[in-house]
């Protein structure tokens, strides 16, 4: 079973099997795209990586680093080992 880990600035915000959140998205992910929410600049890139992992049932670690100047870096690492 594919596993998803999302880390933002060193804090793990999601660490679940893919099938768990495909049935019911975690509150955090749902809130990121809810109406009236001002999404972070990296949200769209993160969602694309999640969709690709879900489509291929591939375990994935998404690591996002932000700076106080508005810059961000998103690194996607396919993982074979479960945490």
Q: Please write the tens of the pLDDT for every residue from 2-40.
A: 788 999 999 998 888 877 766 666 676 777 777 887 788
Asked if 83 contacts 2 with a C-beta cutoff of 8 angstroms, the reply is no
Taking the CB of residue 49, how many other CB atoms lie within 10 A of it?
Answer: 18
Question: b/e for 1-28, b at 16 or more Cβ within 10 A?
Answer: ebbbbbbbeeeeebeeebeebeeeeeee
What is the model's pLDDT at position 23? 63
Strand partners, 15: 5
pTM of the entire structure? 0.79
pLDDT digit string (tens) for 59-83?
999 999 999 998 999 999 987 654 4
What is the model's pLDDT at position 22? 61
Taking the CB of residue 60, how many other CB atoms lie within 10 A of it?
Answer: 20
């Amino acid at each position: 079973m594919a596993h998803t880990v999302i880390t933002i600035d060193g804090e793990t915000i999601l660490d679940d099997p893919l099938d768990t959140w495909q049935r019911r998205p975690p509150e955090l992910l749902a809130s990121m795209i809810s109406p009236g929410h001002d999404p972070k600049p990296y949200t769209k890139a993160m969602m694309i990586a999640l969709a690709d992992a879900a489509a291929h049932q591939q375990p994935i670690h998404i690591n996002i680093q932000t700076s106080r100047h508005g810059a961000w870096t998103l690194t996607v690492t396919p993982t074979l080992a479960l945490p």
